[in-house]
Amino acid sequence: MTKINALDSGFVSVEDDLIANLDVSLRGNVFQPGTSGYENARVIWNAMVDRKPALVIHAKGASDVQQAVRFARKHNLMMSIRSGGHQIAGHAVVDGAVLLDLSGMTSVSVDPGARTARVEPGALLGDVDRETQAHGLIVPLGINSTTGIAGLTLGGGFGWTTRRFGMTIDNLMSAEVVTADGGIVTCSKDQHADLFWALRGGGGNFGVVTSFHFRLHELGPEVMSGLIVHPIADAPSLLGKLTSITDSADDALTVWTVMRKAPPLPFLPEEWHGKEVLIFAACYAGDMAKGEKAMADLRALGDPIVDVIGPHPFVGWQAAFDPLLTPGERNYWKSHDFAGLPKKAIDTLVAAIGNLPDPQSEVFIAHVGGAMARVPVGDTAYPERSAHFIMNVHTRWSTAEMDDACIGWARKLFDDMKPYSTGSAYVNFMPEDEVDRVDNVYGTNMRRLSEIKAKYDPDNFFRCNHNIRPADSAKAAE
C-alpha cells in the first residue's frame, strides 16, 4: 500500500497491485522511492527543491501521459508535472504526490521544406537548436540550452531572436494536449482555439502538452554576438545612454545587461576576476555585415575592459551562459517589467550590485520589443506586449546557511525597484512564494484564462503550478 496526497486534502492509500498494473500497461515505467529512476526524476535544477513524491510515472509517449492522468483522476491523487525540471519555483516536484515525468520524451523532428518542427515536451532548448540548425533554421527560444521546451513555451518564451521573430508562443502553430478528463486533443487557431490561446502564456494550467508544432525561421549557422565588459563604476552613465540605443535599434539587434562579479573568463584580465562589472550581451539575428553596423553605437560606449563581439556559431551562443547556470546550486529569482530605466532606477540597481550576497548572484535586464510588441495584447495569454525591459534578480549560492542573506537581498531589491515597474512580470521568472501575484501578472487576460480553466479543468486538477483558478460555473457561462 502506498500513501499518496489526495487532490484536495489528506491522502489516499493505493494498493500495490494497482501500481503494478499501471507499470505493466505503460511504455515507460513507474518508480517508487529507493530506485534510481525515482531519484533521477525528483532531483531538479534548483537545489533548493528537495522533495519526495510518493510515486513517479516516467512517460514515453502521449498514451502514457493519458494513462497517468486517468490513474490520478480515478484515485483522486495530486499530480505534478516535470519536463525539463528547470523552473525556478520547483512546482515540478511535490512531496507525497504523483510526479508525471516527461523528461524521456525528447524527440525533435524537423521538416525543412515546410520550415516546421515537432518537439516533445521533455526536449531541452539545446536539443531543439541542434536539430533545427542542421537545416539553418531556428525556433525563437531562451538563452540557456538546458532549459526545457515545455515550461519555456507555456510561459511565453523569449531570448536573443525574439525582437526579430517574436516570442516562442508566437511561433507555436499547434499543440497536442492531454486534458484533465484524460482526453487527447489537438489545439490551434482553428481547433480548440480557446485552449490554444490559453496555452500561449498560461503555463501548465490547462493540460499536459505532449507535442509542440513550431514555425521555423532561417538563421545561422553563425550570428554576430558576444560580450562587452565595463567597470561597474561606469554603469550609471552607460545605462543612461543604452535606452537611446535600444529605442532606435533594428529589430534584429538584442542587447541584454548583466551586473555581477566578473567570473574567471579566459578573455577577461585576471585583475578583474571577482570585481563588480557591467556586461552588455548582444546578438544580431541577421546579416553579419548589418550586425556589425548595428552594434557600432553600443561598442562605442565608454572605455570597456574587453569587447569580444564577433561571429559565433548560433548553437554555441545559445549555450554561452550555461556554465553560470549549472544544476546543483541554490537559486531564488525575483522579476519586474519596466517601460524604461529612469536614473533613480539605475542608481538603485548599481547600489545593490555593491552588496551582492554571493559571487554567483547577478541582476540581468533583457530588452524586448520589435516583432513581439506588434502582437496585440489579446492575441495570447501572455499579456505584456509593449517594448520593455525585463529584470531578473538572480540570486545563486551553494549552501543552506546563505539562504536568508541571498533571499533577503533579492526581495529587498525587488521592493526597491517596484516604484519603477509596470506591475507585470514574466511568469517563468516568478518563485514559488508569489502566489498572490498571479492575477496581476495576467492583467486583463486573467478573466478569460479563468473561464477557459473552468471549461477544460473545472476541478483544478492541474494545480501544481502558478495556479489560475477556474471561474465558477455562473461566470464561466457568461
DSSP notation for 206-218: S-EEEEEEEE-EE
- pLDDT tens digits for range 122-165: 999 999 999 999 999 999 999 999 999 999 999 999 999 999 99
* 452 neighbors 194 (Cβ within 8 angstroms): yes
Q: Residue 380: which pLDDT band, with cuts at 50, 70 and 90?
A: very high
> Does residue 423 have a pLDDT over 60?
yes
- pLDDT confidence of residue 182: 97
Q: What percent of the chain has pLDDT over 70?
A: 99
Q: Does domain 108-218 have CATH number 3.40.50.11810?
A: no
Q: Residue 223: which pLDDT band, with cuts at 50, 70 and 90?
A: very high
- pLDDT confidence of residue 475: 45
Q: Residue 474: which pLDDT band, with cuts at 50, 70 and 90?
A: very low
Name the H helices within 309-437: 314-318, 343-353, 403-417
- pLDDT tens digits for range 318-368: 999 999 999 999 999 999 999 999 999 999 999 999 999 999 999 999 999
Q: Residue 276: which pLDDT band, with cuts at 50, 70 and 90?
A: very high
Computed over every residue of the chain, the mean pLDDT equals: 96
Q: CATH number of the domain at 222-435, please?
A: 3.40.462.20
Average pLDDT over residues 170-198: 98
Strand partners, 82: 101
Q: Residue 476: which pLDDT band, with cuts at 50, 70 and 90?
A: very low
CATH class for the domain made up of 2-101: alpha beta
Q: Where in the chain is the domain with CATH 3.30.43.10?
A: 2-101
Q: What percent of the chain has pLDDT over 90?
A: 94
> Does residue 478 have a pLDDT over 60?
no
Q: Residue 453: which pLDDT band, with cuts at 50, 70 and 90?
A: very high
Q: Which of 153, 7, 209 is nearest to 94 (CA)?
A: 7
Task: State phi, psi for 281 to the nearest 5 degrees.
Answer: -105, 120
Q: Give percent helix, percent strand, percent coil of the chain, each to the nearest 5.
A: 35, 25, 40
Q: Where in the chain is the domain with CATH 3.30.465.10?
A: 108-218
Q: Residue 288: which pLDDT band, with cuts at 50, 70 and 90?
A: very high
> Does residue 94 have a pLDDT over 80?
yes
